[in-house]
Structure 1
Amino acid sequence: MSVARVAALVHYPVKGLSGVPVKQAEFGPAGVIGDRNFMLVDPDGTFLSQRTVPAMAALRAELAGDVLRLSAPGAPDLDVPIQYDGKRRDVSLFNAWFGLGVAQDAAADEWLSDRLERPVGLVRVTPEHERPGWGVHRGGTGFGDAHALLITSLASLDGLNQRIVERGGEAIPMNRFRPNLVVSGWSEPHTEDRVLRMAIGPVEIGYSARAIRCAVPTVDQATGQKRGPEPTRTLASYRREPTYGGGVSFGMKAAVLTSGTVTVGDEILVHDWIPAGTDPAPATR
């Protein structure tokens, strides 16, 4: 096996909006610092995602110091002063996690509502926010689905795209899967399934569970439009996971065990492997 390296790093300041590629990122207990610290909610506080609002993919949010900069094609940019604390509102994720979010500027709510053509509110995690993940290594997360990190590999995408093309479809880009970290150098697709513990310089990362995919990978991340049925159709032909309720998987969810800085090009060292054909995660739920 050739040397594994960090091929790409991406963070998502607002859950469900466009990803921001970076050359270097700080990894903390809840993942990439600043990742999914913000979230869009409907009037009753329920989170919004590309599952039901695919147009979110075409909206971009970038952190610039104490400002969140919102942009979208054909719309004026909006700089939103970040409210780290203040007015709070009840929020929820998947009807499984219920907590509080710090309401942000009303101008941001208006800008986002205009773009998405529905009433939405922008919230940020509270200063005391603490939300554990689950799996072999639990870790924590902000407003992520359930884990700190999503890790994929170029080999896995190449293997998937080969199958898609053989079925008469078009290859898809990695951004459909919205990873935080992409690995190069692994020759076998889905090597990430077997990584129990790995290190990138001082940063240690532990396997949590396989990433079960929803409808989001069928959304074109540039236009915010659904382009199904791929990759879900092809993944369903060889990546069904009976121990996860029959969903299809691509990538691994992971926890940050030791914090530090990660840079594109850094070498990845795997310290412990999961035995082939096994997966300890489902037993931890």
Structure 2
Amino acid sequence: MTPVPALQVTSLTTTAIKGLGVVPRDEVELTRTGVVGDRAFLLVDAEGNLLSMTRTGAWAGHTAHYASESGTLTVTCPDGTAVTDEVRLGAALEVDFFRHHTVPGRVVEGPWAGLFSDRVGQPVRLVRPDADNGGVDLRPVTLLGDASVAELARRSDLDAVDARRFRMTLGFSGGAPHAEDTWEGRTVRVGGAVLRVEGPVKRCGAVNRDPVDGSGGVRALSLIKGYRGLGQSTLGRGVLFGVYADVLAPGRIAVGDTLELDAEPAALSH
């Protein structure tokens, strides 16, 4: 009998500002609300609506790092120049998050409005949510199998699909295509953390954006729908790819760690 390959972490990515490019990480510290420093800030338009990768890819080539110890934020531009400033909080604001919920926060004063507004030609504000990891969509962690990404490429007659366009917390090898879809309610031990899979991620137009420059090209949303159809998620019916997870026990996770699934699904609590 051919041994079943172990499930193993192959990638970890975060972004301090939702809507900017994701940054590969060798290891991360996972709390109950998410990876330390991940999705710590949001960008909003003049009306206080979230500006995500779906609405603009103008910032895909920018990356951000938040040093919580010193309270400083650094944004690195595609040309290598960087802007660093102390995080100074201003007016309170309720951010409209996909018309699904609102996220309370404070506008961040300093150079950020000018920096981000210039890139898109409209007024933009940087917001620090009141809660840690306040920029995560629904759950603190997302998972996607490498085999699922490879299956998308195969079904679409593409040589490869860059997994960064899905902006997932954790990628893993060793499973069959879309194996993660069958894990809802199951406990996953990885590194020093314990997760519980909570259901599928409903994809939006952000997956059509090139992860390097934010341009279009690969119509990933249509390609996924072409062979997977539509399914049901917490956000309603749509194109599903990858899964959410909650954090049952915080801990450190590193590339190369093994994912260990429990034998039976645990009872879900929403």
**Letter of the 1:264 counterpart:** V
SS in structure 2 at match of 1:55: coil
Q: Secondary structure at the match of 1:104?
A: strand
Say yes or no: does 1:176 pair with 2:165. yes
Instruction: Write out aligned runs for 1:41-120 (5 A).
Output: 41-64=44-67, 65=69, 66-74=71-79, 76-83=81-88, 86-120=90-124
- Per the TM alignment, residue 57 of structure 1 is displaced from its structure 2 partner at its CA by 1.5
Superposition map of 1:1-285 within 5 A: 1-64=4-67, 65=69, 66-74=71-79, 76-83=81-88, 86-126=90-130, 129=131, 142-165=134-157, 169=158, 171-186=160-175, 188-195=176-183, 196-229=186-219, 231-244=220-233, 245-273=236-264
1:222/1:201 Cα in 2 relative to 1: closer, same or farther (>3 Å)?
closer
* Partner residue in 2 for 1:137: none
**For 2:170 and 2:110, how far apart are their aligned partners in 1?**
33
Q: Deviations over 1:78-105 (max 9, x none)?
A: 102123x553223221223224212212
Equivalent pair of 1:49/1:56 in contact (CA under 8 Å): no
2:254 counterpart letter in structure 1: T
State the identity as a percent: 28
Q: CA deviation at 1:170?
A: 5.1
Shift of the 9–234 alpha-carbon distance from structure 1 to 2, 3 Å rule, reads: same
Q: Is the 8 A contact 1:23 1:263 kept in 2?
A: yes
* Kept after mapping to 1: 8 A contact 2:7/2:172: yes
Cα displacement (A) at 1:77: 1.6
State the alpha-carbon separation in 2 of the partners of residues 63 and 70 from structure 1. 9
- 1: CA distance, partners of 2:253 / 2:72: 24
- For structure 1, the residue ranges without an aligned partner over 5 or more in a row are 131-140
Alignment TM-score, normalising by the size of structure 2: 0.89
Q: Conserved in 2, the CA contact under 8 Å of 1:81 and 1:105? A: no
Report how many aligned residue pairs link the two structures. Answer: 261
Inter-CA distance 219–258: structure 2 relative to 1 (3 Å threshold):
same
Q: Structure 1 residues 42 and 272, CA, compared in 2 at 3 Å: closer, same or farther? A: farther
Moved more, 155-164 or 69-78: 69-78
Q: What is the aligned-residue RMSD (CA, Å)? A: 2.2
Deviation of 1:173 after TM superposition, in Å, equals 0.5
Unaligned runs of 5+ in 2: none
Kindly provide the amino acid, as one letter, of the partner of residue 69 in structure 1: T
SS at match of 2:19: coil
Q: Scaled by the length of structure 1, what TM-score is found?
A: 0.84
